Chains A and B, each alone.
Chain A
């Protein structure tokens, strides 16, 4: 295909060529040419979709399925494939407290980042949807953090949340709160990491909500206001139910991304193990440690497969929960 492309495009355009009219379907064509056109019309669609499907198969689908195969073997980063061991890797991983610790941390960080984030994004979207002056300025303003890489975000907040000389503890001190051990204690470290996620994605999601809000017919609001409903009432009784599909979309995408979180916890300290006592070691961090520090690909693959299933279960559960919450106002 790549060979044909330049040859065809450098030739004269069909419409411009003087001789083109005589080659229009009105005049008879040679048989092979017609057959060629036939072949083109039948085969071309597959040629157009094939680069995506072939590459996706090689770098997306195949590795995912092959993970299951690796997880059933003794498999080392250095030595390669070993004996078939059945479900032993799964049993080993599940019997490790580290796995459960990582699962707990992942879910905790996910909840701390997704729930406040969706609520904040809805509020910001409502503020953006109120006929502002210089609205492009405000919209760009909330999106700014999106262009900062998670790695960079993690380093900035790791400093802000410093245990001894961090700005956050300094400010807390001004209002009489004792310094918090953001890098030592479990929950504070989760809060700090969730803050990084929220920093980067809240504005992005607010713009998604804003677009959906603007699609709500204005008569709904006018009718509600004539009936005497206040702002807060209309927000809960009209805006939220109308945004149902969008809220579900945002929750599902942040579930899929959030449960695989790696960059922020990896960069929260320099060692990258998720804290001295694995206070903020997430599942993906654990997977990395098994595979590339302990060089045990079999176990790493087992964790990857379980994480895959966890992501799917969470996505389905969140879909059901969000649908329920978002439709409450309607009933």
Chain B
């Protein structure tokens, strides 16, 4: 980019193509960007009209003035505020638990020596490819034996372990935490717990934050298991959205209004943390 002011010959610019994008790249990306944003804009447009306006001009891209009016119908049709609170509670708890368990296991795998270490690590990596979602039938049986059907903990616990998280934190701590630091703590007589708490956890913070962010999003958007296990009166947001669809499928102004309301929290999160998400995906890719 710093060289972009220099005039270039045709051949020169081809050699330097890594530092200057062609117009084609911008055109391709502009199309992708429109494709990414348009469906969201569309749901805002529809969600802000009343049904009469949609019938009159179904394909207008200008929002109507009924967004808040529609929203007030949505939040009284489904238990929206309850669902919002539940989603915040469930996603936060799952993110914290996944980060904690992953950081603990990752610390042991990356920095402690113990018998069976390699075997267990291979096991963790292998389970990343196992579709555990397919265990829902027994999981449901277990939850009903425990009397947990309808409980938020029935949603939280199965999501609270992540083989990917353990793998991620192991990789992260291997790089971010120098062996000398662990050794020094040991020589000073610190227990492994103290080493974990005062040395490993602070070093793991950036990687842990990233893992927490992705876990939060995955839990927030999760539908299948919460849909099975939760009661209609006590849902998370995606389950509430399904209820809204069941109530108003023909009236898209209300359904898509609900979509906007429920997508909004994560879009706000995206505005603030999108940069971290991008670099998280790119770091994970290089390592994975």
- Does A96 have its Cβ within 8 Å of any Cβ on chain B? no
- Does B166 have its Cβ within 8 Å of any Cβ on chain A? yes
Chain A residue contacts of B160, Cβ below 8 A = 55, 59
Decide if the interface of chain B is mainly helix, strand, loop or mixed: helix
Instruction: Indicate which residue in A49, A148, A170, A300 contacts B137 across the interface (CB closer than 8 Å).
Output: A300
Interface pair A59/B189, CB less than 8 Å apart: no
Task: Count residues on chain B whose CB falls below 8 Å from chain A CBs.
Answer: 108
- Does B269 have its Cβ within 8 Å of any Cβ on chain A? yes
Instruction: Indicate which residue in B101, B130, B132, B242 contacts A267 across the interface (CB closer than 8 Å).
Output: B242
Binds B, one of A62-70, A104-112, A273-281, A323-331: A62-70
Decide if the interface of chain A is mainly helix, strand, loop or mixed: helix
Interface pair A67/B135, CB less than 8 Å apart: yes
Return the chain B residue nearest A208 by Cβ.
B285
Instruction: Indicate which residue in A130, A148, A150, A222 contacts B40 across the interface (CB closer than 8 Å).
Output: A148
- Does B21 have its Cβ within 8 Å of any Cβ on chain A? yes
- Does B274 have its Cβ within 8 Å of any Cβ on chain A? yes
Interface pair A151/B137, CB less than 8 Å apart: no
Instruction: Indicate which residue in A69, A148, A231, A305 contacts B263 across the interface (CB closer than 8 Å).
Output: A148
- Does A18 have its Cβ within 8 Å of any Cβ on chain B? no
Q: Mark contacts of B218-257 with chain A using CB atoms, 8 A cut-off: 1 yes-contact digit, 0 otherwise.
A: 0011011001100000000110011001100100100110
Q: Mark contacts of B196-235 with chain A using CB atoms, 8 A cut-off: 1 yes-contact digit, 0 otherwise.
A: 1110000000000000000001001101100110000000
With the chains together, A55 CA to B162 CA distance in Å? 10
- Does B52 have its Cβ within 8 Å of any Cβ on chain A? no
- Does A163 have its Cβ within 8 Å of any Cβ on chain B? no
Given A49-B120, A63-B139, A260-B131: A40 touches B283 (CB 8 Å cut-off): no
Given A14-B189, A130-B18, A152-B263: A63 touches B135 (CB 8 Å cut-off): yes
Task: Count residues on chain A whose CB falls below 8 Å from chain B CBs.
Answer: 115
Q: How near does chain B come to A9, taking the closest CB pair, in angstroms?
A: 6
Interface pair B224/A262, CB less than 8 Å apart: yes
Chain B residue contacts of A263, Cβ below 8 A = 223-224, 238
- Does B270 have its Cβ within 8 Å of any Cβ on chain A? yes
Interface pair B134/A304, CB less than 8 Å apart: yes
Interface pair A208/B282, CB less than 8 Å apart: yes
- Does B267 have its Cβ within 8 Å of any Cβ on chain A? yes
Q: How near does chain A come to B190, taking the closest CB pair, in angstroms?
A: 6
Given A132-B25, A133-B1, A152-B262: A138 touches B135 (CB 8 Å cut-off): no
User: A52-B104, A63-B135, A141-B33 are known contacts; what are 4 more A-B pairs with Cβ within 8 Å?
Assistant: A48-B104, A127-B25, A131-B1, A246-B285
12 of the cross-chain contacts (CB-CB < 8 Å) are A24-B187, A42-B114, A48-B196, A59-B161, A133-B1, A136-B278, A141-B33, A143-B274, A144-B267, A144-B274, A152-B43, A297-B140
Q: Can you list the 3 inter-chain pairs with the closest CB atoms, starting with the nearest?
A: A63-B135, A45-B114, A48-B108
Task: Give residues in A with beta carbon < 8 Å to B.
Answer: 1, 4-5, 8-9, 13-15, 20, 23-25, 37, 40-42, 44-46, 48-49, 51-53, 55-56, 58-64, 66-67, 69-70, 80, 123-124, 126-133, 136, 138-153, 155-157, 159-160, 165, 167, 170, 199, 202-204, 207-212, 215, 218, 221-222, 225, 231, 246, 249, 252, 256, 259-260, 262-263, 266-267, 269-270, 284, 287-288, 291-292, 297, 300-301, 304-305, 307-308, 311, 315
